[in-house]
Structure 1
Amino acid sequence: MNDSRLLLTQQFNANELFAQYPPVITDLNKSIVFKLGLKEHYTESPVIGYTRWAQMGLPEDVYKTDVKLVKHSGYFSYPPSSNNCVEWHLNFAHEDVFGFYGGPLFAQDEMQVVEHPILACLREAILDLELERTTVKNGQATPILITGVERRCEVATDPNAALERPHGLYGNEFQFASDKAIRTATTLLSPPTKTNIIAMESPQPDFGLYTRDQIKFILASAITGFSAAVKLSKEINEDAEVSIHTGYWGCGAYGGNRELMPLLQIIAAYCADIDTLHFHTGGDHNGYDAALATLDDIMTEWEGMCLEQLIDNIMALRYDWGVSDGN
């Protein structure tokens, strides 16, 4: 399935972004990492692609394809693409893409920007040029895909009392850490690697049971973002495999259900015809494992199934919203 509709396409030169659009940082600890990551910035392959896509319609039927599902116990490690496989990583975006990169918060979105600091420069360029930057508009998903972004540093967020981060650095802990803790946690990558990003927002936080419209929106968002990644990858090499890295998208600050969100992303992977879906659990396998078991129960093996019937089966399970983790 691939009827993705392109709303916007733009190319940027990373070296020019660095020279013309410095990051706007309001948090001291963020400024430390950005200065380290952008120090002596220059790249021989500076082209960054920026595309924005219209929400796709849902398919009538869904099939269990031979997409390879891979579970990882940690967080994103950002393997680079190869000639045979194009790697993509989700950005668990806000509606206003990269809108909070310079403040004190250090959740998945902000962490990704810090480790790919040219994204902050890109954000400032988008603002200056008045380009469309929303990942949702008028209730419709409009994922933004960004290609060729250098990952210039890695920030350790695990708890380590000996290195002055007894509670780790993730989320709100980042802003309270010492200068030394931030510097010790930051490792510069030499040479930098390149990352392709799918920025898309999950439904805004809610309570009670998930509605049918919310489930359809999640599916449409993921199918659109995944399908756009396939389309862009095949334009580079039509024989290349497409690999997408994700995790508990929308299950942190937004309080999404940690079984339902993996379940719907796997269904989206079937619909988008990707080759491999990597799911990074951060050490919490329960939701992902439960999603796999549930999928076996509610979806027929290898046969086409009416998507509306599949949604009926999901609705019958009465998934409810969780609670925000405060990050």
Structure 2
Amino acid sequence: MNAEFHAAFVNKYIGGGVLFGGCAQEEMLFAFRTECLVSMLLCPIIEQAEAIIISGVERFSAHRGYAQTFEYVGPYADDTSIFQPTMSKAINIVAVDALVASVNHIQYSKENIQRELNKLYCGLYNWRKFSNAQRQTYATGHWGCGIFGGNKQLKAIEQIIVVSQVGGLDINYYTWGRPNFASALVSLVQFLHKTNTTVGEVTKILFSYMDKLDEGRTPFEFLYEQIRKKKGIH
């Protein structure tokens, strides 16, 4: 990933199951960037309006596979550039724990959407403190969309809102073999730019999605519909 900021989709108890058999994104990250393990000793439970930034962690291992197929394949030479103020690797892990959508519809409430926006904003708002660049890249993907039950479209919109509000960051969004989702996301972002839709407008529309949930539209479809209606686009 050619980015200084990497999302880590973590458990509220950072590290998750890395020490006792877990092997999802968080545990894999902690296995090949082993300096992350120190955070398990230093960091308490992540509260609702908190995120954890782990800076300068080197990658030591090459790997392949995922979950049951995850395996070590040899040492890794980490050629990441150096962040001069700290003389450490210019890499920052943005550890954010997503809402656990144990009941699917709760993730669409205004309160829980606001929770996710606040959470990610905590992780990204001060990114310039950790970088010499005027503009940087945030590498992310389907945050909280595995065992936590998150809706991929909703989570993508939430991340776009926060990154746009923070400013100075581009997104590398990894869809993990879902080209149709990637195309749909690119089309939505292009539509938002073309219609000069603001962060505030997108957020207000998203807050109203819960009220229309039973009408069966996806978050992307609902955004398109409401923006066209608001701006008189037919």
TM-score interval for Structure 1 and Structure 2 normalised by the shorter chain:
0.7 to 0.9
Corresponding residue for residue 12 of structure 2: 95
| Equivalent residue for 2:74, pick from 173, 187, 207 | 187
Corresponding residue for residue 231 of structure 2: none
Contact map agreement 2:137 2:171 (CA 8 A) in 1: yes
Indicate the percent of aligned positions where both proteins have the same amino acid.
24
Matched letter for residue 139 of structure 2: H
Matched letter for residue 199 of structure 1: A
How many residue pairs match? The answer is: 204
Q: Which has the higher strand share?
A: 1
Q: Structure 1 residues 316 and 270 mapped into 2: Cα distance closer, same or farther (>3 Å)?
A: farther
RMSD over equivalenced CA pairs, Å:
2.8
- What's the TM-score, normalizing by structure 2? 0.74
- Structure 1 residue 116: Cα displacement: 0.3
Is the counterpart of residue 227 in structure 1 residue 125 in structure 2? yes
Deviations 1:123-156 (A, max 9, x none): 3542xxxxx4332x2xx22100011101011211
Q: Following the alignment from structure 1 to structure 2, what is the Cα–Cα distance between the partners of residues 313 and 265?
A: 18
- Structure 1 residue 226: Cα displacement: 1.7
Deviations 1:238-269 (A, max 9, x none): x5322110011101111211111112111111
The structure, 1 or 2, with the larger RCO (C-alpha pairs under 8 Å, 6+ apart) is 1
Contact map agreement 1:98 1:110 (CA 8 A) in 2: yes
**Where do 5+ consecutive residues of structure 1 fail to align?**
1-77, 82-86, 127-131, 158-169, 175-181, 321-327
Describe how 1:79-228 pairs up with structure 2 within 5 A. 79=2, 87-120=4-37, 122-123=38-39, 125-126=41-42, 132-135=43-46, 137=47, 140-157=48-65, 170-174=66-70, 182=71, 185-191=72-78, 193=80, 194=89, 195-209=91-105, 210-228=108-126
Corresponding residue for residue 46 of structure 1: none
Corresponding residue for residue 309 of structure 1: 204
Corresponding residue for residue 33 of structure 1: none
Deviations 1:209-238 (A, max 9, x none): 2212111111221222121324433xxx3x
- What's the TM-score, normalizing by structure 1? 0.55
**Where do 5+ consecutive residues of structure 2 fail to align?**
81-88, 219-234
